[in-house]
Amino acid sequence: MEEKFYGELMSFLLLRRRHHGTDERFRAYVAESVRTLAKDLHEFGIDVSVKQDAAVPAAARRDLNYLRIGCE
């Protein structure tokens, strides 16, 4: 199996994975971290939008696997 390499920010987040107990709690942590990062980056003049995929039914959009990020 080929080893997966992640960027610096995702690698940092993955270091925290075991502290969250479950994949669901880890995904919630990652989603909140990304939202906070987007707000923080805005102060540096970098706009990052985080949006739900409108093509996915509303019930499924609540699943954190459907978090979609767009950089402008």
**Structure confidence by residue, pLDDT tens digits, 32-59:** 898 888 888 888 888 877 665 556 566 6
State pTM to two decimals: 0.62
Q: Is the pLDDT of residue 20 over 90?
A: yes
> Dihedral (C-alpha) 53, 55, 61, 65: value to the nearest 10 degrees?
-60
Paired residues of 48 in beta bridges: 71
Asked whether residue 20 is assigned to any structural domain, the reply reads yes
Q: Give the chain's domain count.
A: 1
Asked whether residue 3 is assigned to any structural domain, the reply reads no
What's phi and psi for 70, nearest 5 deg? -125, 130
Residue 62 belongs to what domain range?
A: 8-71
Paired residues of 52 in beta bridges: 67
Asked whether residue 1 is assigned to any structural domain, the reply reads no
